[in-house]
């Protein structure tokens, strides 16, 4: 049965409407999908920015914590030095220094030395090792014996530069020209085998004449004995201002002498320049 004209028109119109509807729905769905994609991309960018900002804040906070910790450690060290410098108590300075003091043990006796560079360079008196055929170094933590290398010596000033292998704490040399008569000092050494003993006293006088005829010695009243030779003389700032060298015996008491640190520095740098072509102490 053939369709009438108006029936065809109705069917065609309906088909057009359906097609138009489907096109419109497709356009709307595509717009929604595009919008969701854009929104997702914006959200992802915002999340990335937020993550970056959070990481930046964490990094800043970590740096602040490290800076604060470093500052606290520095303040604690300054507080210990201030406390030590305003009292007669050397206990804190002894604790900070003793790890850099060593026993110099030989087949002819025993003395003391101290580390002046973290790579294991040690200063002692030359007479401590002068006639020895065997020698070893022991540290305060009980380690040793370390094999010794004699870098060089200054016989006139009775100074020897030694070397052991390893990494160590070091002592800093102060300016002996700043040493004042009457100021407190501490000597660390190994008198008569009593290892890592400390004695305290004061500076009796500076620039005393030594056995070599040079006015290069600090006179002290701190008790020193055989075995102290080569040990450090330390001030209230924890600096080495001399190396224990000799004492006047007999009936005399409290008459010890230490080579001034400025002469130590000069001797060591002359030796290191000659033997290694370096300046060991700046």
Catalytic residues: 127, 158, 229
HSE-CB of 28 using CA atoms within 13 angstroms: 6
**Within the chain, where are the H helices?**
5-85, 91-97, 126-129, 261-276
Q: Are 13 and 20 in contact (CB under 8 A)?
A: no
Report angle CA 212, 230, 82 to the nearest 5 degrees: 110
Reference 124, options 68, 67, 174, 163; nearest CA is 163
d(CA 277, CA 32): 79
Strands 232-234 and 135-139: unpaired
List the Cα angle 34/40/45 in 5-degree steps: 130
Instruction: Report the distance separating Cα 265 and Cα 242, nearest Å.
Output: 10
d(CA 229, CA 53): 62
Tell which residue, 226, 224, 196, has the closest CA to residue 110. Answer: 226
């Amino acid at each position: 049965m053939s369709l009438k004209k108006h029936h065809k028109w109705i069917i065609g119109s309906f088909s057009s409407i359906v097609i138009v509807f489907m096109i419109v729905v497709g356009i709307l769905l595509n717009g929604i999908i595009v919008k969701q994609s854009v929104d997702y991309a914006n959200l992802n960018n915002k999340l990335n920015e937020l993550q970056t900002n959070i990481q930046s804040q964490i990094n800043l906070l970590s740096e602040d914590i490290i800076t604060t910790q470093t500052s606290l450690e520095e303040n604690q060290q300054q507080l210990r030095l201030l406390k030590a410098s305003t009292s007669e108590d050397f206990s804190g300075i002894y604790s900070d220094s003793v790890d850099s003091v060593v026993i110099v043990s030989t087949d002819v006796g025993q003395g003391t030395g101290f580390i002046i560079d973290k790579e294991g360079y040690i200063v002692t008196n030359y007479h401590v090792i002068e006639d020895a055929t065997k020698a070893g170094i022991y540290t305060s933590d009980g380690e040793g014996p370390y094999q010794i290398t004699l870098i060089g010596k200054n016989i006139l000033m009775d100074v020897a530069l030694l070397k052991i292998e390893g990494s160590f704490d070091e002592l800093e040399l102060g300016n002996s020209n700043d040493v004042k008569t009457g100021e407190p000092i501490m000597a660390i050494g190994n008198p008569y085998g009593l290892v890592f003993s400390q004695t305290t006293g004061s500076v009796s006088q500076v620039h005393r004449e030594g056995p070599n005829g040079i006015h290069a010695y600090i006179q002290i009243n701190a008790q020193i004995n055989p075995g102290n030779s080569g040990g450090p003389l330390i001030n209230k700032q924890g600096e080495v201002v001399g190396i224990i060298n000799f004492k006047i015996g007999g009936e005399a008491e409290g008459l010890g002498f230490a080579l001034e640190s400025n002469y130590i520095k000069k001797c060591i740098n002359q030796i290191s320049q000659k033997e290694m072509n370096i300046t060991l102490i700046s």
